[in-house]
Structure 1
Amino acid sequence: MQKVTLDGIKVVDVHAHPFREQREPENPVDFLRKLSLSVIPEMFTNIEDVEKFQPYPGTNMWIQILFRHMAKYLNCEPDLPSIVEARNKKAKNFPDYTKELFADANLEGLIMDFGYPQPPINRDDFQQMSGAQIWEIHRIEPVMVELGKQKLSFEEFIEKYRDNLEKALKRDGVVGLKTIIAYRSGLEISNKDGKAAASAYEEFLLNEKAPAKAMRDYCFHIAMEECTRADKFMHIHTGIGDGEVVLSKASPSFLLDTFRKPEYKETKIHLVHGGYPWMEEAAFIVSILPNVYMDISLQNPFTGHGVERIISQVLELAPFDKVMYGSDAFTVPEMNWLGVKLFKDCFERVLSDWVEKDYMDADQAHYIGEMILYKNFENIYKVKI
């Protein structure tokens, strides 16, 4: 079998979050917590009674794979205390450690959502710490929360909200807006209705996380309009996330009627997380609408060995030139690092299988690998790195 290798190919991660410089050593339990999508502190509490060969309580395949890779990279035993001890020694100079991991993965650029964590991390500071080129998406929900604290009238709120988005899209390095409406009221977006939005505004003022659906849908439409006007991308969280997501309304299929509206025919749309676990629905949408694209983030690396299956399933329908690499890494540089390592490993197996089955030759398979790892980003976002 002729193996396709993706070693040495540069990578752009089109969806990740910044992390803060760590000035103190990690302890094993806190390190585990930082690796989990769970927002419940009790998910990891005690590792002292773990028997030989027993997985640490609460861990899954992605964490298991990370430990294997880290133990090899750090040249230490593959148990959590040894890994964290070796990691702490390397990370005494945290910026150097971050740059080393990014360079080892050929991770040269990232689109980052600075809406998490809060308060926001400075983009220039993170770029200097990581050594990678950073682009930004401007998340709309923190804007809404900050304006809500001012107790404005609904009309004043909307005026300032639109002005904020318009100015943000003009800033250097900002490639679009992002919404996490899937966490608040879901992706079934109603028509733009100012009267209904004004009525729901009071609900939002009482609780910044309240569904306030008509008001959130109204703000979603404004964001779409501003992205259309600025010729920038609208990033939409689709699929699972942390425990707050409105799971019953998180499938990208709920967005299809909105995307079909004539006023959004030219709007550049980026489906963040590719709708996982509804990635086939996202793949279908990008296959029929020329202005919609998707990434494979969160599902990579957090599904572990499932990344291979997911890549194959996404590319059953999605055009090769409309899918981009992503990670959704959010707490430690090891997430960004393993995201690339795991994705390349799984993608190599998918591509090699296609060559073995004579669906394509090895050169074309290698080029498809380059497309998804960085070329599509450059072509879609019209940026060269």
Structure 2
Amino acid sequence: MKKVKLTGVKVVDVHAHPFKEKLEAQSPVGFLRNLSLSVIPEMFSDLSEVEKNQPYPGSNMWIQRLLRGMSQYLNCNEDIEAIVHARNEQSKDFSAYTQKLFKDVNLQGAIMDFGYPQPPIDREDFEELCDIKVWEISRIEPLMVELSEDYESFEEFISLYRKRLQEDLCKEHVVGLKTIIAYRSGLDVEEIDESAATKEYETFKKDTRSAVKRLRDYCFHIAMECCTEADKFMHIHTGIGDGEVVLPKASPSYLLDIFRQEKYKNTKVHLVHGGYPWMEEAAFIVSILPNVYMDISLQNPFTAHGVERIMSQVFELAPFDKVMYGSDAFTVPEMNWMGVKIFIENFERVLNSWVEKDYMDVEKAQYIGEMVLYRNFEKIYNIKL
């Protein structure tokens, strides 16, 4: 029986972060830390007493899947010392190693959030390092911090904030703005209250990571307005992230009333991470609002085998043409590489199950796979690879 085969299909990653060129050798513990979403340094500290066949303390299925995949790719034993040694040898020319990984999975382009890590990595340098096409989303929070350090009055701050966002959106390689308001005050965004925002500005100047909800809500609305004017995308972090996220207020369902407002009915919105673990809510939102889209990133690749379940649930409601591939890779190129591999192996299982159940023929299932991997990006962002 003919099956869906996505290996070799070109891929665009619609949400990832750049990584720094690392010329120094990695240690086993350091490499494990690079793979983890944990912000606790002690999560990986001592591997000296790990017994044969024992999973590394603090590791999960994502790390297990990546280590096994790397051992096969590098043709070495499946233990961290052997993997890191082989990796260090092959990555002495870091750019060549990165490009080889990306070509292995046909990763041809990516939308990058250069707001992490800080200070920002240069987009053109990163593009040259990886030999892929890179587009940028401009994160609003670093700009808020920068301007608060330079301007005493709220009026000056907010005027320059709007101007700078407009300037960023005029740049050809910038496809939109991004907010991580879910990490600071949550997604329960309220209407603009200039008086309350003004009062909170002094608090923000003293502590730029403070909640200051009314100030952040105000800045969120301005970013939405700027994206509307420029006809570019507002990227919004939804769902889990690292340990700082305001988890009780991270569901994309909090944003539905905002999206329904008349002034935002034509605003292009990209729900980053597809709201995981509230992906059903995200899928519902994109199914009812024509200008809202979602990606499957962070849950891919960091839930490993869970990606199969997640994709099945997402497509219970989400239209096929409103979901895009992503990774949220952020420290090493192996994340970007394994993100594609995990996504493809799981999506193939989902698509082939639809064929086996006679929901569609294999040709249509194949096309849907290509839509999520790159075709939807080209159509939604009006960019041809």
Structure 1 length as normaliser, TM-score? 0.99
Q: Is the 8 A contact 2:67 2:80 kept in 1?
A: yes
Give the superposition deviation at 1:2.
4.0
Question: What residue number does 1:317 align with?
Answer: 317
Q: Which amino acid aligns with 2:317?
A: L
Tell me, in whole angstroms, the C-alpha distance in 2 between the residues paired with 1:370 and 1:112.
Answer: 21
Q: Report the alpha carbon displacement of residue 151 of structure 1 after superposing the two structures with TM.
A: 3.9
- The structural deviation recorded for 1:220 is 0.2
Aligned residue number for residue 327 of structure 2: 327
- Name the counterpart of 1:113: 113
CA contact 1:151–1:205 (8 Å) conserved in 2: no
Partner of 1:207: 207
1:277 pairs with 2:277: yes
In structure 1, distance between residues paired with 2:136 and 2:152? 28
User: 1-side partners of 2:187 and 2:261: how far apart?
Assistant: 15
Paired residue for 1:241? 241
After TM superposition, give the deviation of residue 152 of structure 1 in Å.
2.2
Q: How many residues align?
A: 385
Q: CA deviation at 1:8?
A: 1.1
1:100-249 superposed matches below 5 A:
100-249=100-249
Please give the alpha-carbon distance, in whole angstroms, between the structure 2 residues aligned to 1:149 and 1:39.
26
Give 2:55's aligned residue.
Answer: 55
How far, CA to CA, are the matches of 1:84 and 1:245 in structure 2? 31
State the AA in 2 paired with 1:90.
Q
Q: Give distance in 1, aligned partners of 2:164 and 2:81.
A: 46
Residues 223-263 of structure 1 show CA distances to partners (whole Å, capped at 9, x for unaligned) of 00000000000000000000100000000000001001100
Alignment check: 8 A CA contact 2:324 2:377 kept: yes
1:44 maps to 44
Q: Which residue of 1 aligns with 2:251?
A: 251
Contiguous gaps of at least 5 residues in structure 1 = none
1:195: Cα distance to partner? 1.1
- SS of alignment partner, residue 150 of structure 2: coil
Superposed CA offset, 1:134-162 (max 9, x none) = 00000000000001111420000000100
Instruction: Kindly provide the CA deviation profile for residues 7-57 of structure 1, in whole angstroms up to 9, marking residues without a partner as x.
Output: 110000000000000010000000000000001111100111110100000
Q: Is the 8 A contact 1:2 1:352 kept in 2?
A: no
1:282-301 pair list within 5 angstroms: 282-301=282-301
- Per-residue CA deviations over 1:257-276 (Å, capped at 9, x if unaligned) read 10011000000000000000
How far, CA to CA, are the matches of 2:152 and 2:77 in structure 1? 58
Counterpart position of 1:64: 64
Identity across aligned pairs (percent)?
69
SS in 1 for 2:25: coil
Structure 2 counterpart SS, 1:346: helix
Name the TM-score, length of structure 2 as normaliser.
0.99
In the other structure, the counterpart of 1:365 is 365
The code of the aligned residue for 2:143 comes to: V
Distance 1:204 1:361 in 2: 56
The separation in 1 between residues aligned to 2:178 and 2:327, in whole angstroms, is 16
> Which is further off, 197-206 or 74-83?
197-206
Determine whether 1:262 maps to 2:258: no
Distance (Å, rounded) in 2 between the aligned partners of 1:300 and 1:249: 22
Match of 2:21, as an amino acid? E
Moved over 4 A (4+): none
Native 8 Å contact 2:194 2:218 kept in 1: yes
RMSD: 0.6
SS at match of 2:110: strand
Residue 240 of structure 1 aligns with an amino acid whose one-letter code is I
Residue 3 (structure 1) shift: 2.5
Q: Which amino acid aligns with 1:165?
A: L
1:349 and 1:2 mapped to 2: Cα distance? 13
- Cα deviation 1:49-107 (Å, max 9, x = unaligned): 11010000000000000011100000000101000000000000000000000000100
The residue type equivalent to 1:14 in the other structure is V
C-alpha separation in 2, matches of 1:25 and 1:98: 15
8 A Cα contact 2:7 2:105, kept in partner: no
Match for 2:320: what amino acid?
A: F
Q: Distance between the aligned counterparts of 2:172 and 2:44, measured in 1?
A: 41
Output the amino acid matched with 1:117.
P
CA distance in 1, matches of 2:136, 2:370: 23
Tell me, what secondary structure is at the counterpart of 1:220?
helix
Q: Does 1:378 align with 2:378?
A: yes
